[in-house]
Amino acid sequence: MKILVTGGAGFIGSNFCHYCFSNEPSSQIEKIVVVDKLGYSGSIENIAGLMGKKNFEFIQADIGDQKRMEQILFEEKIEAIVHFAAESHVDRSIDDPGLFVQSNVVGTYKLLESAFVYFSSLSPEKKERFRFIHISTDEVYGSIPMDGAPTKEGGLYAPSSPYSASKAASDHFVAAYYKTYGLPALITHSSNNYGPRQHPEKMIPHMICNALEEKQLPVYGQGLNVRDWIYVEDHCEGVWKLLLKGRPGEVYHIGKGSGISNIELVKKICALLDTFFPRSSGKSYAELIRFVADRPGHDLRYALDVSKMKKEIGWQAQVDLDRGLQKTLFWYVENRDWVQSVMNKGYTLKRQGLRGTKLI
């Protein structure tokens, strides 16, 4: 299989590449081609360990460059596209919605056009094998009640932020290209990912990095918002299984199938830090927790019904939250140079009461 991975120098995309070369897929992959424009969240360091492999290639390009993407697809004779590339931080989307429209909506449309031009040229046998997997988010469904049942595939879309709205729009374009043009695409909705190589602006690495530097641990509102967290390697395995068994035109939920409030999560991180890297003062890291003004449009709870993946694909997440957090903590402690290089880029928010708030 020859796979094109968009956003492959980002968090989940790079972990997918590492997973493929270190696990079961390695014997079935002829080549992985990564396309990434190397924006603020993409880093060549994320895939540095793969650059010397003969069956791996990195190309710096923008998925919105249709001619370039068509050229890559034809030259590399791609058999599957895994589309991770996206702007993904909600706070950034509040700051600059247009960037998210351009990247997530227009970029996905342009990629679909490139894929369709290429797909149309394939023989019937190769068309049968071709796949386009679009990686999306549970956030497109909006908030659900605390006592509500987890959202099933086909649930009502109710995005709350410019980020989730842009992902919802891109989902609809992918579905339309399947229904109208026959492009063999499928959509995944994932819960919150965490693990190695995640940008330090995201919640879990942000808390880890701040704590180790004795900085405050900011928690929105009262920290009661509930999220399901999936260790990134589990997510990558789920995507690989869908490449092999997923049905075009279908939607699949990839998550752990559990939930925890933000404040409980931060306290778990503090407890791990207290155990493995105690403060010289002898005080708990939990003392650094500070509640801050809530984010505009902050959804209370996301929860996905993940039973379809288990029933149809034979996959379920394996890494429990405590073990995943411990693995993640040690990765960030052992890779402080990577953290510093990413944090040096910085970013300042400007809108919606977030003006002047420094993410990093």
Return d(Cα 202, Cα 183) in angstroms, integer.
Answer: 33
Handedness of CA 333, 334, 335, 340 (dihedral sign): positive
Return d(Cα 275, Cα 265) in angstroms, integer.
Answer: 16
Reduce the DSSP state of residue 68 to 3 states and report it.
Answer: helix
What are the distances in angstroms from CA 340 to CA 31, 199, 336? 31, 11, 6
For residues 93 and 166, the answer to whether their CB atoms sit within 8 Å is: yes
**How far is the first Cα of the chain from the last one, in angstroms, to the nearest whole number?**
39
| Active site (annotated) includes residue 139 | yes
| Active site (annotated) includes residue 163 | yes
Return d(Cα 183, Cα 179) in angstroms, integer.
Answer: 8
Q: What string of DSSP letters covers 258-272?
A: --EEHHHHHHHHHHH
Return d(Cα 217, Cα 220) in angstroms, integer.
Answer: 10
What does the DSSP 8-state code read for residue 75? H
Residue from 138, 159, 171 nearest 257 by CA? 138
Return d(Cα 270, Cα 285) in angstroms, integer.
Answer: 5
Q: 2-6 and 80-83: which strand pairing? A: parallel
Q: Annotated catalytic residue: which of 76, 87, 139, 299?
A: 139
- Give the burial class of 336: count Cβ atoms within 10 A of its Cβ; 0-12 exposed, 13-18 middle, 19 or more buried: exposed
Residue carrying structure tokens 């939607």: 251
Q: Annotated catalytic residue: which of 138, 171, 237, 299?
A: 138
For residues 286 and 267, the answer to whether their CB atoms sit within 8 Å is: yes
Q: Annotated catalytic residue: which of 19, 163, 177, 332?
A: 163
For residues 150 and 304, the answer to whether their CB atoms sit within 8 Å is: yes
β-sheet bridge partners, residue 60: 36
- What residues are annotated to the active site? 138-139, 163
